Every structure is written in structure tokens, then in C-alpha cells.
Structure 1
Amino acid sequence: MARDTGPAGAAGDRLAAVLRPVRAGNGFEEALEQILQVVRLGLVPAGERLPAERELAQRLGISRVTLREVLKVLQDQGLVEARRGRYGGTFVRPRADGGGGDELRRRLAGVDIDDVLRFREVLEVGAAGLCAAQGLTDGQARRLREALEHTRDAPPADYRRRDTLLHLTLAESCGSPTLTGQYAAVRAAVNDLLDCIPLLVRNLEHSQRQHAALVEAVLEGDADGARETMREHCAGTAALLRGFLT
């Protein structure tokens, strides 16, 4: 059985999968990258507040001056907004709908879609097989079931965020912070691509059936089944993205 790393359902624990001390030489750049991942992965939903400046600065190992420079960039990009007062702070703004020509070109500039999708598949298939083969603790199994349940009957506008959290929960269950960090990065890139294409109800229904089969295979210790289900799931997303974007 895998070692239980503690409750990961809380927002702080979710952020721990992405936020980590940066290296001194690239503190600003790495802090910006990590907070962008938090926003792009939906770890803090639109309309909700990022952790307080003191907490963020401590997590990242940077000064609050550097952190404020990072948050200013995010404000300038329209990703967050600062509110003053007793209930103030830095809040995540709703993302604009994808599909506009300029926005699409900006997001696709310099992106090797095939490379992103291949790397995503390698990580996801490997994580699914590993979790099934090594087994999950009771706590990990509970969190995976809860993440799956949260994707059921999700409103379309929130489906991709909840889908992301389900996949991130599985990656975290491997017990490898390196794998989790790599997955968070590639999933953020995938989400940027997904934001460029429309939500298709039929695809969401199919995806949800695959999610259920995947979780069942993992919990039953069926490593081959988990890998194959995840491979098929990734292939479906890849087909949509290549169809719309290439």
C-alpha cells in the first residue's frame, strides 16, 4: 500500500502540488510561472481569493516586494484583480472565452501541440498504472472518489476545472512530487489549448464515463486496465485538440 501523505482536499494542500520555494537566480520568473499555474489549473477558482501575500511569499521563498511585482503582472494580464478593504486581497478573475482569432494565435504561438500531448499521455498513463499497481491508502482512495464525484453534474463552465483537479489528484497519489510538478506544468499547457476550443456535451459525457472506468480500475488494482483507459482518454482529448487547432 502507498504511504498516505495526509489530506489533500484542502486548498492549501492543492497549492502545495504547485507552489514550492524558487531558486534565487530566477525568483521572479519562477514565482510568476508557479502562480500562473495555480490560476490556469483552477486550483483557486474564478472569483475566489489567492492566499494572503505573507503566505504566498513564504511558500515561494521570495520577498513580498517580489511577490507584488508578480501579482502586478497578473493584474496587467487581466488574470487577477486586487480589492481593498476588510475582505480585500487578490482575486482570480473569470477567464475570457477562448476562440477569438487574436487570442487563439497568442496561445498557440510557439506551442508544439504534438509534443505537449505526447508528454501528457506519458505522464498520465504512467501515473494511472503506478497508482493501480502500488495501491492507494484509504485517504487517497477517498480523495480520488470525491474528485470524481465533483465532476459529475458539473456546470459546463466549471467542468474543465473539476476535470483538472481529478487528474491532479491521481498524479498526487503516485507519491512523487517530481511527477506531480511535471504533470501540473503540462496540464496547464493543455488547459490553455482546451480554452481555445468549444465545450462539446457529447465529449464531456464520454469523458465522464472514462473517468468512472479509470477510477474503478485504479481502485481495483487493475494496472493494465487503468493504463489503457487513460491512454484512450488522452487520445480522445488529443483528437479534439488536433482537429480544432491543427
Structure 2
Amino acid sequence: MSIQVPSATPNRLRNAALAPIGDEGRIELVESRIVQAITAGAFTEGERLPSETELSALLGVAVVTVREALSNLRHRGLIETRRGRNGGSFVRLSHGSIEESNARALRLMSRVALADLAVHYEAVCGACAEYACQRATQGELDLVATVLERARGLDRVAWRRRITEVQLELAALSQSVRLTKAHVRVQTEFTPLLALQDIDKQARAATQDALMAQIRATRERNVNGSRNAVRETVRASARWLVSLQADLLAVPHDEDLRATLEARRRER
């Protein structure tokens, strides 16, 4: 019998990814939000996105801005448009297209912004881990551990979705609504960058091992052990991303991004 991950996970990711943009309602930000949602697993292969009108209302931008953003995403091969009664914009999961979009975002991010995002992520995850040590039941931890173990052997896209689900469920075990919401927001923002690391099999294995160590520490009510597991995996990811960012900054054109990622993939 398969273990079912709670169905609320995609909805939490969608709500965070599609929160209002406000005055910064530019085409690039709309694109970024949708890519974040797809990478984090809020929308899966073949799933229909909300309509232009719905996205406009969710993101707080004009319909024409959403339309232009969707056009760009379609050109990049991330979505496809179907006509007719059951038509709309549908997700197309291509490893290359998603990776290049995320690599482009990493290259455009300043080193300070990347470090600050990692610090924010570590702080929120650490706080959730501390309260989960006090409040999680053994049964809840058994379920999360089983879901995590079954991530082994999945392809990179499915593995990242499963790992994100596990991270969100661990945060929810804090039983703090505010902390969990904060975790969902920063998880949605950071996941597209973390997904770049998934080309490295050793990094994937280290992430999975760190999450299992966090679950073990939570079982033992070991706050320091749980926080240390979070700290180690986040800081290792940040170092990896800084190194990749340096490589990406060394290539002048977008068409060179794929070659840079392929070179990283061949290293492992």
C-alpha cells in the first residue's frame, strides 16, 4: 500500500507562489512566480494553470501582463496552450527548460541576495525543527520517514517534488500556523535554486541523509541535533549554489547556460 502525501501540499505551494506581486507587477516577476510554482511541484506535468483572469487576480497585475508572461513561458517551452472548451495553458516539464530558467535566475541574483535567502531559509527551517521536536508524534514522523525513504530512485523532477513535500510536512509538525506559512513562502522561493543542485547525485544523497537525520533527532526530542541537520544541509546547498553562480557568471550568453550545467553534471 502506497503512502499518500497530504493533498494540501500543492495548495500551500500555489498560494505562496501566486501571492500578490503588487506594485512590482512586471512581466519578469510573473514569469518567475510561475516557474517557482512549477519547480516546487505546485503544478505538475500536463496540469492546467489558472486562467489569465485568475492569475491576474491572484498576482495583482493586469491581464495583459499575465498574457505576455505566459507567451514568454510558452516560447521557452515551459507551457503549451491548447484551444477549445477544455483549453488553456498547460505545464510542460522539460528538464532542460526548467534548469535553464532556474540557472538564469541564479545568475541574475546578487551574492548578497543569495546569502540572505539562505539565512532566511535556515532560520525558518530551524525554528520549525525546534518546535517539531516538542510537538510531533511518533506516528507523524513514521509517515514522513516512509515518504522520504520512497524518494530514493525517483527521477530528479519527481525526487525534488517529494523532498519539497517532506520539508513542508516537517515544517507543519511544528504545529505553528505562522511558522508553517513562513516556511512555505521561503520554500517556494528557494526551491527553484535548490533544484539546480539536483544534477549532483552526491548532493541529492546528502540532502536525503540530512532530512533523515533531522527526523531521527526529532524522534529523540533532540533540538540541537535537529537544528544542526537543518544548518548543515542549508549551508552546504548555499556553498554549492555560490560555486555554480560563479561558473554561470563566467558565460556571457543564455545559450551557454546549458553547456555550463552539462559540465557540472559530468563532474559527478
Superposition TM-score, scaled by structure 2 size: 0.67
**1:142-181 deviations in whole A, cap 9, x for unaligned?**
5523431342222234322222221122122323343333
> SS of 1:19's equivalent?
helix
CA distance in 1, matches of 2:14, 2:178: 10
Pair 123,51 (structure 1): closer, same or farther in 2 beyond 3 Å: same
CA distance in 1, matches of 2:118, 2:184: 13
CA distance in 1, matches of 2:122, 2:141: 22
Q: Which runs of 5+ in 2 are unaligned?
A: 247-268
Cα contact 2:141–2:215 (8 A) shared by 1: no
The alignment covers a number of residue pairs equal to 233
Pair 202,195 (structure 1): closer, same or farther in 2 beyond 3 Å: closer
> SS of 1:90's equivalent?
strand
Q: Which runs of 5+ in 1 are unaligned?
A: 1-6
Pair 37,245 (structure 1): closer, same or farther in 2 beyond 3 Å: closer
Deviation, 1:216, is 2.1
**1:9-49 deviations in whole A, cap 9, x for unaligned?**
11x553135417966966978x957655422311222x231
Cα contact 2:14–2:37 (8 A) shared by 1: yes
**1:178-231 deviations in whole A, cap 9, x for unaligned?**
333332333333333335556122222222222222122223432222111111
CA distance in 1, matches of 2:58, 2:105: 28
**1:85-128 deviations in whole A, cap 9, x for unaligned?**
5764432221453776x974554324411111111111112111
More helix by share: 2
CA distance in 1, matches of 2:103, 2:51: 32
In structure 2, what is the equivalent of residue 133 of structure 1?
A: 134
Cα contact 1:217–1:226 (8 A) shared by 2: yes
Pair 75,131 (structure 1): closer, same or farther in 2 beyond 3 Å: farther
Deviates more, 1:116-125 or 1:200-209: 200-209
CA distance in 1, matches of 2:211, 2:102: 30
Give the letter for the 2:225 counterpart: G
Cα contact 2:126–2:231 (8 A) shared by 1: yes
Cα contact 1:8–1:14 (8 A) shared by 2: no
Cα contact 2:214–2:230 (8 A) shared by 1: yes
In structure 1, what is the equivalent of residue 124 of structure 2?
A: 123
In structure 2, what is the equivalent of residue 90 of structure 1?
A: 89
